[in-house]
Amino acid sequence: MEEFRNIGIIGRLNSKKVIETIKRLKRYLIEEGYHVILEDRIADVMPGHGMQTSKVSILGEICDLVIVVGGDGSLLGAARALAKFNTPVLGINRGRLGFLTDISPDDDMLQAVQDVLDGEYVEERRFLLDAEVKRDGNPIGSAAALNDVVLHPGKSARMIAFDLYIEGQFVYSLRSDGLIVSTPTGSTAYSLSGGGPIMHPRLDALVLVPMFPHTLSSRPIVVDGKSEIKIVASADQDIYPTVSCDGQNHIPCAPGDAITIRKKAHKLKLIHPKGHNFYEICRTKLGWASNLGE
């Protein structure tokens, strides 16, 4: 097990509850002799914190562990910044669902964190995606995603026409509200809302989910995680679609643009408390029945 001494803290902005949790966490870690580094943006709204601060892009270099206080959205942003450093990430849930940030900010929070610091944890590797948009063969934008890469109409309410290729093989031409390309991590997010399957996080697979397709025969497709996905927006349309990565980074596109999506070289090292159970999380977060006889 790794030894955690230098601990970074990232928090969701504009939340009093997050600030309260970070102050409590910071105080405890300092009392226990750990070196704490705050992300500079959250430090700006905590006057008098007296801590070392750092940009997220640097935290991965100087920390043994980064704790994210917020919702899954906060962890998605941290994941994209930290994956290349192989820095373990632990989530404390101050959001809604909390599929990724699975420590509750209740009375047992500090004990759960201490257990992790003592080596009592489960480690997972989650792969990310790289998306690149080319126009006339020239790159015009790129972004990474832990959950999903989504082609959608942007501000338009009209359908997009596009061609789909997997590993260079033509799959179909489709008219729809777009296409979701999701990792197993993202299969419980937007992909699930679009009718995609739930995939266990350890799977090396991608799911492609058409959004409100113009044909009833278009169904989600699960493919090998190493597959290269290429989407070409039809040149014979006046829709200017958008590619969104994790719903946080957006690349404006034009008719004829080609979007290539492939697995990122670096994986996220995600830490969970001992006893972490994916199916229990699904039961809790998605409202699955635990005992029909009760």
Query: Which H/E stretch holds residue 68?
Result: strand 65-70
- Is 175 annotated in a binding site? The answer is yes
SS3 266: strand
Residue 186 · residue 225 · CB < 8 Å: no
- Is 190 annotated in a binding site? The answer is yes
SS (H, E, C) 160-205: EEEEEEECCEEEEEEEECEEEEECCHHHHCHHHHCCCCCCCCCCCE
72 is annotated as an active-site residue: yes
Instruction: Show Cβ contacts of residue 53 under 8 Å, excluding neighbours closer than 6 positions.
Output: 37, 38, 39, 40, 43
- Is 161 annotated in a binding site? The answer is no
- Is 189 annotated in a binding site? The answer is yes
- Is 111 annotated in a binding site? The answer is no
- Is 28 annotated in a binding site? The answer is no
- Is 121 annotated in a binding site? The answer is no
d(CA 77, CA 10): 10
- Is 179 annotated in a binding site? The answer is no
- Is 242 annotated in a binding site? The answer is no
DSSP letters, 109-161, are HHHHHHHHHTT-EEEEEEEEEEEEEEETTEEEEEEEESSEEEEE-TT--S-EE
d(CA 255, CA 265): 29
Q: Tokens 């990310």 label which residue?
A: 128
The amino acid that residue 143 corresponds to is A
Q: List the catalytic residue out of 40, 64, 72, 115.
A: 72
- Is 177 annotated in a binding site? The answer is yes
Please, which residues bridge with residue 141 across strands? Answer: 133
- Is 193 annotated in a binding site? The answer is yes
Q: Active-site residues: which are they?
A: 72
Binding residues for NAD(+): 72-73, 147-148, 158, 175, 177, 188-193, 248
Binding residues: 72-73, 147-148, 158, 175, 177, 188-193, 248
